[in-house]
Structure 1
Amino acid sequence: MEFQLFHTTLSLSLLLFIMGGGFLAGFVDSIAGGGGLVSLPVLMAAGLPPHLAVGTNKFSATFGAVMSAWQFWRAGKIDQDLLKKILPCTFIGAVIGCLVMLHLSSEWLQPIIIIALIAAAVIVFTQRRLGAVSTYCGATKGKLLAAAAMALGIGFYDGFIGPGTGTFLIIGFAALGFDFVTAAGNAKILNLMSNLTAFVLLVASGKILYVYGVAMAVCIFAGAYFGSRLAIRRGTGFVRLVMLAVTVALIGKLGLSYFGIV
């Protein structure tokens, strides 16, 4: 069975594949980040060339980011004062990263991402108290500079390619002293900013295939709704466990891709 949408034909099996991947990506990303390592390969497996896949993925991921950010905001699991100060850094980083992505290949970043994810997994696994309770007592000068640098750097990465952004942000906020749930909430706000920024630039550059993007976005939105509510209800231990699982999966996926195995 095939569907004709906006002059593009989608088979039923391909449509279900895209939507299933979208739901899983939204669910996982809303809890621990890393949803892009599900949704981006799904779009590439559906036959989209790399730049269109990145753009379409950013389009659909933005809807999940809206839902996740709203759920954490409504539950009060964010630090508004800190976020107001560092959001501009995320915006600037995402603009630069997206402009670079439109002109350069992203392949050289892959080994760096793998190493960074391994380091993140080691930190989460060995530092058992990291993110267990909140030790954050306000934005000292040092912590504010560290948060601003993190927002700028990860904003750049998200604008450039994106997968794993949420995981890196959660680790960063936990290192600043936030518990994992609040770290996830803060991460969702910054992730929303970088997603929206890259989304606008990619729309202007014509790098989005809307048929695939809309189909995936609907399910990412639904997955993000259920995932964020589960994270808020289950608490930091649950988020930490999912983060470890997601990080290990991301390392495996990127490693296999890097060495040409999959």
Structure 2
Amino acid sequence: MEFLIVCPLAFLAGFVDAIAGGGGLISLPAYLIAGLPVHMAIGTNKLSAGMGTAVATWRFWRKGYIPVREAVFGVLLALAGAWIGARAALLIPDGVFRVIMLVVLPVTGAYVMFGRRMEREETESYASSLRTRALVAAVAFFIGIYDGLYGPGTGTFLMLLLTGLARLPLQKAAGVTKAINLTTNITALTVYLTSGTVLLLLGLTAGLFSICGNYLGARCFSKSGARVVKPVMIFVLVIFFIKTLYELLA
């Protein structure tokens, strides 16, 4: 039953992520709807989501879209942040985590779906490359904590902060985002693996479905794609919200 619920939604999450971003808003609730404990859901989601992120990062690297100097600073701080976030998540009791998610997930979803997007006109970069790298590192550290602790919307938040705060050009920001996101996924996954909160077979199978969804979504991308997938995100979030609220009240 877990496979029947998670795998189709993991495919859908990959499809949505390729078109509009925010696939984690579907994949994480999928595990929770399937009945997994919170920490097990987050840990297993890191495995399946990380597989899709690894493929996307490799494609960006092959095309030369990842600037090494900026990415190195981000990766190092992201590693530290994700480790802190994942360790903190394991200390929060399951019931408390469900209450937190009941508030945070809908708010995150609303911001990712309806919040400000990157502007077409790029902001002029800082004159000091050191300042740029320091800001990239700071963004990576704090978003790394968020991704280790929770996760959904990480890619969107990274893009917004790297273009708005660190003033990276869109192409560089996208490449650095992939490098940081892959780092946070692997780091958090390592913490969850060592704590025994990852279902390997389910995560690997869902990861394959996620990769297929990403591939198909990239091929089906259109300018109206974001508008098409928003109702799907809302539908999954509503199901998750009702199920979690029912369990807490029951």
Point out 4+ residue stretches in structure 1 off by more than 6 angstroms.
Answer: none
Write out aligned runs for 1:30-109 (5 A).
30-104=18-92, 105-106=96-97, 107-108=99-100
Aligned equivalent of 2:129: 140
8 A contact 1:77–1:182 mirrored in 2: yes
SS in 2 for 1:102: helix
Q: SS at 2:7's partner residue?
A: helix
Q: How many residues align?
A: 239
1:203 aligns with 2:187: no
Map of 1:3 onto structure 2: none
Give, as a single letter, the amino acid of the residue that structure 1 aligns with 2:100. W
| Letter in structure 1 aligned against 2:138 | A
RMSD across aligned C-alpha pairs, in angstroms? Answer: 3.5
* One of 214, 224, 230 as aligned partner of 1:224: 214
Judged with a 3 Å threshold, the aligned counterparts in structure 2 of structure 1 residues 57 and 30 are, in CA distance, closer, same or farther, namely same
Whether the 8 Å contact between 2:65 and 2:171 is mirrored in structure 1 is: yes
1:242 aligned to 2:226? yes
- Taking structure 1 as the reference length, the TM-score comes to 0.75
Residues 122 and 169 in structure 2, CA contact (< 8 A), matched pair in contact too: yes
Matched, 1:165 2:154: yes
Corresponding residue for residue 6 of structure 1: none
Structure 1 residue 246 displacement after superposition? 5.3
Q: Percent identity of the aligned residues?
A: 32
1:7 alignment counterpart: none
Structure 1 CA distance for aligned equivalents of residues 177 and 19 of structure 2 = 10
AA in 2 matched with 1:193: T
User: What stretches of structure 1 of length at least 5 have no aligned partner?
Assistant: 1-10, 125-129
Residue 248 of structure 1 and its aligned partner are, at CA, apart by: 10
Alignment counterpart, residue 186 of structure 1, candidates 176, 196, 199? 176
For structure 2, which runs of at least 5 residues remain unmatched after alignment?
none
Alpha-carbon separation, structure 1, partners of 2:89 and 2:137: 22
TM-superposed CA distance for 1:90, in Å, is 0.4
TM-score of the pair, normalised by structure 2: 0.78
Equivalent of residue 5 in structure 2, options 17, 37, 47: 17
